[in-house]
Amino acid sequence: MATPSSDANTADKHPNKPSIAPQIYVSANKLQRAINIETLDLLHESFGSRPNSSQQFIDVGCGTGDFTRQDLLPRCQPCRRIVATDVSRKMVEYAKENFAHPQIAYEVHDIESDVSGLVERYGKFDRVYSFFALQWAGDITTALRNVAALMTDEGECLLLFGARLTLHNVWRRIMEVDRWKPYKEVLERFIPPSHDIEDVSGLISYMLGVLKDASLKPLTCQLLSQDRNGSDPNDFIKLELSLDPVLPLLPEESKTQYKTDVAEIINKMWTEKPAGDPQLITDMFVVHATKI
């Protein structure tokens, strides 16, 4: 079995982007997908104009494509097309194979990178959507500037992304386990600065500043909160393991122990904390904005 010190050699080569297995994620994403739908239904009627057959939209961070195809596309009709992007080639290939549609064009793209190629190929977009993707960005301001760069002058964006996630509380606990301490930098890389802002007013103030720097004018900037207390910890274990950035880096002989430790941490969190405890509260930014 690999020792923690030998595993650390892998940790030194940690990626800047998560490596998520689409086959695992698609079977574990029901928690996030339900929140996506809730947000869409809450704000979809607030757009300045209704969709028409000349408009095109983009879904940034489409993942496996199931939500894009089955939930987002029907709510965007009529439209010319949706361009659905993800940083992961594996995700995009999975989406093309399993959730293809004549009105959806899947593309590999990192929202923190230059968007001029996308704009040259497709033109600008009347709406930019993104659900549970932007919290992975190493530089949220750059990511949001690129969101603005994708929008037409009259375009709008609807963005849902993590502010303070239960998932990240789990990762902080994983870091405390001696055998996984070599992977601390891997986990911290994907915990956004907003996770350590304690009060709601501070979170909103932080995001308003980021939006201003990104040349976006918020029509809505709020927190959507969910208490995980009372939910099935097994569902959350599946979600965590589908998104965990350390697991793909481990040698096969270490993965079983890692999964066991993750399950123990989550089960302990679910039993030790009362309802309303911050450890089990998930806070998400909901942003509806236009360009400044």
| Residue 219 neighbours by CB distance under 10 Å | 16
pLDDT value of position 8: 36
pLDDT value of position 15: 54
281-291/216-227 β-pairing: antiparallel
Tokens of 25: 């994620």
Cβ–Cβ < 8 Å for 166, 32: no
Could you give the angle at the alpha carbon of 151 between the alpha carbons of 56 and 104, nearest 5°? 30
Distance in angstroms (rounded) separating the CA atoms of residues 135 and 137: 5
pLDDT value of position 70: 98
Paired residues of 59 in beta bridges:
84, 129
Cβ–Cβ < 8 Å for 282, 226: yes
Q: Over 80: is that where the pLDDT of 263 sits?
A: yes
Q: Over 60: is that where the pLDDT of 6 sits?
A: no
Name the pLDDT band for 277 (thresholds 50, 70, 90). Answer: low
| Residue 109 neighbours by CB distance under 10 Å | 22
pLDDT value of position 2: 34
Q: What is the pLDDT of residues 69-84, one digit of tens each?
A: 999 999 999 999 999 9
Q: Over 80: is that where the pLDDT of 18 sits?
A: no
Name the pLDDT band for 276 (thresholds 50, 70, 90). Answer: low
The reported pTM is 0.91
pLDDT value of position 32: 92
Length of the chain, please? 292
pLDDT value of position 1: 34
Q: What is the pLDDT of residues 194-216, one digit of tens each?
A: 999 999 999 999 999 999 999 99
Cβ–Cβ < 8 Å for 36, 67: yes
Of 100, 101, 150, residue with least CA distance to 127: 150
Distance in angstroms (rounded) separating the CA atoms of residues 66 and 106: 12
Q: What is the mean pLDDT of residues 82-105?
A: 98
Q: Over 90: is that where the pLDDT of 279 sits?
A: no
Q: Over 70: is that where the pLDDT of 4 sits?
A: no
CB within 8 Å of 273: residues ≥ 6 apart: 229, 279, 280
Q: What is the pLDDT of residues 167-191, one digit of tens each?
A: 999 999 999 999 999 999 999 999 9
Q: Over 60: is that where the pLDDT of 7 sits?
A: no
pLDDT value of position 149: 99
- DSSP per position, the chain: ---HHHHHHHHTT--SS----HHHHTTT-HHHHHHHHHHHHHHGGGSSS---TT-EEEEET-TTSHHIIIIIHHHT-S-SEEEEEES-HHHHHHHHHHS--TTEEEEE--TTS--HHHHHHH--EEEEEEES-GGG-S-HHHHHHHHHHHEEEEEEEEEEEEEE-HHHHHHHHHHHSGGGGGGHHHHHHTS-GGGG--SHHHHHHHHHHHHHHTTEEEEEEEEEEEE-TTS-HHHHHHHHHHH-SSGGGS-HHHHHHHHHHHHHHHHHHHHHS-TT-GGGEEEEEEEEEEE-
For the chain, domains (ranges, CATH) are 4-291 (3.40.50.150)
Q: Over 60: is that where the pLDDT of 14 sits?
A: no
Distance in angstroms (rounded) separating the CA atoms of residues 77 and 55: 10
